Every structure is written in structure tokens, then in C-alpha cells.
Structure 1
Amino acid sequence: MTLYLLSIHQPDGGTPEPEFLAQVMREVGELRDELVADGSWVFGQGLHGPETATVLRPRDGDVLVTDGPFAEGKEHLGGVTIIDVPDLDAALRWGRRYALATTLPIEVRPFRSGVGG
């Protein structure tokens, strides 16, 4: 089995209508239940908005602390799900389902194996 990160990319701006958001959360909950039943669920959670981010950058032997996201853009990382599946094809199947459920872009990326990658 291989660990994969499913990153949910969310557009900047306001919160969706409550009815739409309720449907999305219902579908994401069903996906989580299926992943648990399949034995593939590891972890998943939404994130607070990018305005809550703090970035630490090494600079001249010290660390510079700044507010805000790592990179500015029109979208931000809205949440993550970690799954443990046999291969990329399986990870992509789950990623597609998350994309349809959330109506948002999903990045699928494997973790490196071993200590320190």
C-alpha cells in the first residue's frame, strides 16, 4: 500500500451558499465512510482560511516569520485527505470522486517512502 495526499484547492473569496455547502459536506462524509470501510482512510481535515497562515522562511541563519499563505494566488489549500491505497490508479479514482463531490480541483500526490524520503 502507498500513502497519497489528496489536496483540496479552494478559490479565494466568500463561503458558498449553506445549501450547497451542506450537500458537499454530506458527499465528502460519505466518501470518508467508504474509505474507512475500504481500510484506506488515514486522515483528513479542512483548514482555516489562508489569512490564518504563518510562513517561516530561513534567512541568513535566522528564520523570518510572516503572516499569510506561502504563495499568493486566486486559490488556496482548503483541506487535505491522506489515503493508503495499492497504487496511483486507486488514488486517482478516489481523487476523482472528491473532485466531483467538492466541485474543486484535487491534487493527488504520493508520499515518499522511508525516513526522510
Structure 2
Amino acid sequence: MTQYLLSMPHDSAEEPTMATMDPAELEAVMAAAGAFIEELTASGALVFAGGLHPPSTAVTVDHTGDELALADEPYTQAPEYLGGLWVVEAPDKDAAVAWAAKASKALGARIEVRAFQEVPA
């Protein structure tokens, strides 16, 4: 089966984190996310899931030349950033999109679906 990345964007201007959310809102979001992850797990589709800290916490590492260069900033600047993700196994794109639709409904957010590349046979 193919693995798909289901990703949830966040607004870069807001940079929400669990620590900055209203406790009642956080509880509701965690319950919805938990229920979705439980369903993914029960189906055998879940490979991995996680939430990311905002881009302002990023370190960019560049050791492509002779010297190591570190920058306390994200590699790219964008109006939105990857805030959370799930890696799922699905028989096809339609099945992955169905999982994304459930995540979108549960969390009230847009979800992007992308397949991982596979080595050609």
C-alpha cells in the first residue's frame, strides 16, 4: 500500500501552539484529534502522527559547503506553515482523501494529501 502525508496548515501570522490556546478550545481540539487518531489506529491505516512547533522555533542547518552554517529561522517564509501531520497507509488516493475529509471535518481545518514517492520497480 502507498503511504500518504495528510498535512494541516496553520496561519504564519498567528503561530498557534497548545500552550497559547484557550484551555476549553484545546480540550475540544485534542478530543477531536484523539478520536480521529483512534479511528486511524483501529483501521490499521496510521503510520505516524504529530504536531509541529511554529516556524519561529526552527533552526536551518546548511553544511553543503566547507563550513557548517546555522540560522535560527525557518528555511522558507510563507503565509502558512505545516502545523500537524499524519502519515497513513491507504490502498489508493481516494482512500487517503477520505481520511483527510474525516480529519478536516473533525478539526475544522483544511488538509493537504500527498503520496510519498516509491522507488520504481
Shorter-chain TM-score above 0.5 = yes
Aligned to 1:84: 89
What is the root-mean-square deviation of aligned Cα atoms in Å?
2.0
Cα distance change of structure 1 residues 47 and 86 upon mapping to structure 2, 3 Å threshold:
same
CA displacement, residues 30-72 of structure 1 (integer Å, 9 cap, x when unaligned) = 1111111111010001111211111234665555321222221
Q: Residues 30-69 of structure 1: matches in 2 within 5 Å?
A: 30-57=35-62, 60=65, 62-69=67-74
The answer for the alignment partner of 2:10 in structure 1 is 10
Please report how far the alpha carbon of residue 104 of structure 1 lies from its aligned counterpart in structure 2 after TM superposition. Answer: 2.2
TM-score scaled to structure 2, two decimals?
A: 0.82
Runs (4+) of structure 1 exceeding 4 A deviation are 58-63
Whole-angstrom distance in 1 between the partners of 2:114 and 2:6 = 7
Structure 1 residue ranges without an equivalent (≥5): none
Structure 1 length-normalised TM: 0.84
Question: Which runs of no fewer than 5 residues in structure 2 stay unpaired?
Answer: none
